[in-house]
Amino acid sequence: MEDRIFSNYKNTIKNFTDVKNRKDLLIKELGDLHIYYAPFDYVNPKARLFIIGITPGEQQMKNMLEEARRLIALGLSDEEVLKQCKTVGSFSGPMRKNLVQMMDHIGIAKYLKIKSCEELFDKHAELANLTSAIRYPTFVFKGGKEDNFNETIRPKSELFKFAAPLTLEEIEKAPNALLLHLGPKVSVYLKKVLAGTPFEKNLLPELPHPSGANAERIAYFLGKKDKKELSSKTNSDKIDSIKREFEKILNAV
């Protein structure tokens, strides 16, 4: 199925030049939400860990399309293009460094028996499936321009109806993988999607979102900032509780 979706947009990707000029990649409009295609389709059936953000942003979309264009030009099959470009575009940019540091800090690398979670993006890519609550890049149109989507996915909304089947489809392909999710909005979404399914038990605690806008929470999570230095925006008790949950779960598996 992934190959068929990709083939619909392959010619557009071959000629991709500017992520701002993306109208030919539009999949769906849901009111002020615009959902675009970028080749985030591949699902790794051997994954032991899912890393789940909310949706690819503009930077990740750009990186993914550029890499897919390069791989197409090399003559790779559609399947290989989808597989190889996934680790380049997913969680790319500055957020990847923060994500890797937090995963290493809580013991994910140790659980996976690798040196660092940085290896999940290259030589140990077979251990992870990199994905999002909304698989394809989604933007909010307001004030005459599109902004990256970072809102709650309401359970009865058309966006939820679009995203949830794709999420379950992915998880069903690697049913024993642990599910690591980033930020409270993804946490709320996944709890709704997975309610009553066998996959509820695979859901790990919420990891602070690795965005640079979340710098203080990340610094405290990593032990780089003392509790007494935190602003009122950072809930240290919640972060401490999350870290204890991770330790308990990862020591038990």
Q: What is the mean pLDDT of residues 191-212?
A: 94
Q: Determine the pLDDT at residue 4.
A: 72
What would the two tokens of residue 38 be?
A: 């970028």
How far apart CA 188 and CA 151 sit, in angstroms, is 11
pLDDT tens-digit series, residues 92-149: 777 889 999 999 999 999 999 999 999 998 899 999 999 999 999 999 998 889 999 9
CA dihedral 158, 3, 179, 112 (to 10 degrees): -170
Edge-to-edge, what's the strand order for the sheet holding 49-53? 128-132, 49-53, 178-182, 203-207
Q: Residue 218: what pLDDT?
A: 95
Which residues in 100-117 are b (16+ Cβ under 10 Å) and which e? bbbbbbbebbebbebeeb
Number of domains in the chain: 1
Mean pLDDT of 44-72: 94
- Write down the pLDDT at residue 118: 94
34: β partners: 29, 139
Domain harbouring 103, CATH code: 3.40.470
Quickly count: other Cβ atoms within 10 Å of residue 238's Cβ. Answer: 13
Confidence of residue 3 (pLDDT cuts 50, 70, 90): low
Judged against a pLDDT cut of 70, whether residue 203 lies above it is answered with: yes
Domain range holding 73? 2-252
- pLDDT mean over 157-167: 97
Measure the CA–CA gap between 132 and 100, rounded to whole angstroms: 17
